[in-house]
Structure formats: structure tokens, C-alpha cells
Structure 1
């Protein structure tokens, strides 16, 4: 009996149409705006470009923006894993409320977050008056305030990337390790952490990318003091207000290139960790 040839059917369009739609959409939404930054920057001479992007005030904003973003993402990588672990492995009153509050930075307007943090950590704020009065440590209108704002907006990325991996992790592996005499720390380091590492790196990259370009929640608590608490997005806005469009795009191009390199390194580490643990990258 001759076999009937069956043809798989899909409600989605074919590969050619899907690929064309994807490329057109990405070109309009992503590639064209990014290329415009470089085209506008190309109007400057090399000497003007270098003098703009290497000015002492601008260099200090690079150090603060990238340094605070890396530190905030690192802090969230530690405490975010702890929060995800607590939400997955334990039951406690108010668990659903805590789980919902983690997504609050996603839904909260960044300006509202900045005003709220400033009200709390300002010298006359709820916590700021005690921190500065007792410890003599200034939070708001200083780099520590920027770090707190970046930690606040980046925390959900770590929790939401690690949480599904923990939910799928088989606890029988931990029980087997415990039955063989492994300590809790050894079990976590040799069994759990290698599985979580790709997800942690993914969350780290997302949190870092969000923090580098953050403006609304930082602008209120930073104080915006040149050479002290001025972030790179602010100096770009300042140049735009001065109608120095080429200078603004030059600084934006540097941020774009450095961010791309750092994200490329992080994605490379993520792929390496995935291959090392035998999971698909």
C-alpha cells in the first residue's frame, strides 16, 4: 500500500516571510536609530570627537555610570539569588505579596521611584537623617544614592531569570548529595550553582544594561554635581539642551560601544557556563 505523504501545517507564516518581517522590524526599531547615532557623530572631525568624549567631566561620568552599574548588577546577583531561593523553596505568610512586589520596579514610573528614594535617603528623609546623623554618611545627592537607585531598578531581572531554573531543579540531586555526606555548602557549590550560573549571568547582563541607560530614577537622588554625582545620560541631555547634537551623539556612541563590548563578554561567559554544565546556550 502506498504511503500517503503528509504535510505539516502551521498557523504561522513561512520562514522567508517571518525572516523578512523580523529584519524589517528590527531595522526600523533598533538598527536605524543606532546607526543614526554614528552617522551624526561622523560629522565631527577626529580631533573634535576625541576632545568631546575624553573631556575630564565626561570621563568622570563614564566611571560613575559604568562602575555603579557593574556594582549594582553584582549586588543584585547575590541578593537576587537569595530572594529567588526563598520564593521557590519556602512557604511563608505574605509570599504572594513579596513575589508581586519584586515586579514593582517594572511597573513603577522611574521618576516616581527616584522621588521616593530621595524622600527616604535625603538628609531630612526617613532614613537619611539617621544615616547621616549617626554615621556621618551621605546617601542622597552622592554616588551611594545612585547605587541604591540602580539596585532598585535592577533587582527583578535577577530574580525572574533565576526563579524558573530553581523551580525546575530536581531536589533529588540535593538529597542524593546529602545522603553521600556532602555538606549544604558543598552541595550548593558543586550541584546547584553550576546550573544557576547561566541564568545568573543572563540576569546580570539585563540588570547592567538597564542600569547603564537609567535616567529617571537616578536624576533626582544623584544631586547632579559635576565630577561627583553626574551620570553620562545626564551630560548627554545637557548637550542636547545646548543644541550640541554632535557632541551628545559622540558620547552616546562611546556608551553604546562600551556597553556592547561588556554585554558581549557577559554573553560569552554565559555560553561558556552553559556548555560547561551541558545545558543549551
Structure 2
């Protein structure tokens, strides 16, 4: 009995959490999430509730609003496509290869997280304007990046690339090399091995990374407004139009535009979660 009590006591000590008990920890968590996430969202929904369906459609169907949404969504989609492709390659190189400067490259991936977006926008303008290092080379070719749709795509790509890389990188680290070796032993080519063995296991991370990249790009403001030119119907993004409506004290219009972006983001995140669940079930041999 003393030995059993000693064992139970040891297990209890090991299971004791270094943080406060469930009640206090849960209370702190719920309070934090409420103040930081739910209260701002509740304010937005309250503003939207002041609008009737006809008022909302009138605001969203405004030609300037439609143009801003079109520019934002297409640029975000293009940036997401770039991030999904090169994010996968970058994550693969960081995980699978050892070379000088690998640690520095890995750290640079997180630079857009640490760099203020306004600083990033100024730097991109300095590079891609007509007098910039890269823009001066592109101008003779008739290619304009700064103050054009292409510049918006580059700004969104810069600010959202970490989401794609960091979502895919852990899955590459968890890949079993024996599965790839078995596929090659059975006669599969490198392309077949990657597409049929490796890619299905990376697909959940790719969906998460590209989805977060797209959502992040939809609401990008600081980096975009410096390089976009902000011309209505040409390079004006939805986040800037929200700011303009707020400056005009047109809170219903600002809420309608912001609510549209939020709705698109929520729909995409739900779709990604559903797709991930089905992929994991398929990988586990379920239905």
C-alpha cells in the first residue's frame, strides 16, 4: 500500500499543470478572446444589422465598390497562386536540403511578420517605381509595376508568403522517407512519387497556407496603399475604400464593405476545414 500511494502521488505530481487550474485558465482565455476577437466582430455585426438587405445591396452594387472588390479579390487570388507554388518549393528546400545560409533563409521567411507593412510598402515603391532599381529596368520594356495592379499582387505576395511556407513546412518534416523509397523501388518515377505519395500528405498544409494567404491578402492595407496608386476603378483596393468611407463618416458603407470581406474569409476558412477533414479521413483509410 505505501508503494502504491507513492506511485499515485508521483503520477499526480507529474500531471499537475504548471499553469492555474482549468477554471482560472479557461476564464482568462475566454476573456481574452472576447475582448480581442468577439467584441470587434460584434461591433461590425451591429453596424451591419442597421442595414436592410436593400441597403446592403445598394452599397455593395455601387460601381466603385464593385471595382474595388474585383481588384482586391483578383490580386489576392494571384498572390495566393504565387505563394502556393513558391511557398511549397521554399519549404521543401528549407527542410530537405542542407546548405550554407539555410538558417538565414529560414529566418527571412518570417521577415514580413516582423516588418511593419507600411515600411514594406515604401521599400517596394523604392524598388519598383520608375526610378527604382528594378522598375528602371522594367520601364524600357513597357512593364509597370508600381501604381498598377501588378504592384498590388507583389505587395500581397510579400506580406502573406510566411503563411504558405509555415503551414507546409511541418508536414514536409513529418514525411516518411521510407514511403518514397518504397515507391521508387516499385518503379515509380520521381514525378509519380511526388504526385501520388508526397503530394496527398502535403495537401492539407497547402490548403491551409494558401487559404490563410488569401484571407490575409484580402485585408492588406499598409503595404498596398503605397504601391497601388489608389486610383478609383483601377488600383483602389477594398480596405482603402473602407478607410475612405470611415473618413467620410459613412459607417454603414464601411461596414457593408468590411462585412463582405469578412464573409468571404469565413466561407473560405470553413471550406478549407471541411476539405481538410475529408483529406485526413481519406489518408487514414476512412470514408
Normalised TM-score (structure 2): 0.90
Instruction: Note the residue ranges of structure 2 that are not aligned, 5 or more in a row.
Output: none
Offset at residue 130 of structure 1 (A): 2.1
1:219 aligns with 2:246: no
Match of 1:120 in 2: 127
1:198 aligns with 2:204: yes
Offset at residue 229 of structure 1 (A): 0.7
1:100 aligns with 2:143: no
Runs ≥4 residues deviating over 6 A? none
Distance of 1:127 and 1:9 partners within structure 2: 58
Match of 2:156 in 1: 150
Match of 1:43 in 2: 50
Q: Pick from 241, 257, 261 the counterpart of residue 255 of structure 1.
A: 261
Distance 1:167 1:44, change over 3 A: closer
Distance of 1:192 and 1:245 partners within structure 2: 49
Distance of 2:120 and 2:16 partners within structure 1: 48
Match of 1:170 in 2: 176
Distance 1:279 1:120, change over 3 A: farther
- SS of the counterpart of 2:74? helix
Distance of 2:73 and 2:43 partners within structure 1: 23
Offset at residue 279 of structure 1 (A): 9.5
Distance of 2:182 and 2:53 partners within structure 1: 62
Normalised TM-score (structure 1): 0.92
Instruction: Note the residue ranges of structure 1 that are not aligned, 5 or more in a row.
Output: none
Q: CA RMSD in A?
A: 2.1
1:30 aligns with 2:37: yes
Measured against aligned partners, the alpha-carbon deviations of 1:221-272 in whole angstroms (never above 9, x if no partner) come to: 1011101111000001001111112221121112111211122112221222
Q: Pick from 71, 84, 94 the counterpart of residue 78 of structure 2.
A: 71
Aligned length, in residue pairs: 279
